[in-house]
Amino acid sequence: MSKGESIMLHYLPGCDVRKNHPEAVAKMQAYMENKGIVIDQCCRVKNKFLQDGDTIIHNCTLCQLILNEVYPDNECLSLYEYVLNDRSFPWADHQGEMITIQDCWRSRNNKPLQFAIRECLKRMHYTIIEMDENYSKTTYCGVWLNNAPEKDCIEIAPKTFAKIAKNHLHLLSLEEQIKNMEQWVQQYTTKQILVYCNGCEKGIRLGGKRPIHLIELLSEGL
């Protein structure tokens, strides 16, 4: 970073999160802009948009995978960790409602993110129900590992997606994916199912349930 340049905070909402939750993302972007944070559009742009020392705030586990390869020296922080440090953040009150957390395979090794998600739910007075496969034990990412990675993901983060394709990809037909997801959702014991990943969200919907993305809950008080 050259003399005179300042360290910037960037918020990356995620393309799919914005598409699936436009009103919640719009509220969160307004909140971030009010904090003086730069709003970025997509992690898959080929021209680098972060400078040395900049911090990126994200709410997408796919973005996280890409950012970790493209910007290994920049701090990558989840939205959930960020809002927990804002003493004035307006938390909604869910008065003890029960909610099951569906942890995501893509963030299985990201303990700060996982802990932050649970703390956010506690701030909203949820009663948390844990699955047997949680934290680092989770194997779930919906049907994401049953489909070939998108071309632009492979181009922007080739090492990450080559490793995933070699070690974790298991291609299935749509019919097989639906059957697997219908079986998977039978284990949920609560009406409310919390997700923080688009792949997880898609899979649960494919299985016939309606999960809640954490950004929807965070936006309730904004």
For the residues 140-158, what does the mean pLDDT come to?
95
Q: Are strands 127-129 and 98-101 parallel, antiparallel or unpaired?
A: parallel
Mean pLDDT of the chain: 95
pLDDT at 3 over 50: no
pLDDT at 175 over 70: yes
Mean pLDDT lowest among 40-49, 133-142, 168-177, 199-208? 40-49
Report pLDDT for 6.
64
Report pLDDT for 7.
74
Q: Tell me how far apart the alpha carbons of residues 48 and 97 are, in angstroms, rounded to a whole number.
A: 42
CB 196 within 8 A of CB 59: yes
Report pLDDT for 56.
95
3-state helix, strand, coil in the chain (%, to 5): 45, 15, 40
User: Residue 64: enclosing H or E segment and its boundaries?
Assistant: helix 61-70
pLDDT, tens digit, 9 for 90 and up, residues 12-59 = 999 999 999 999 999 999 999 999 999 998 888 878 889 999 999 999
For the residues 113-122, what does the mean pLDDT come to?
98
Report pLDDT for 5.
54
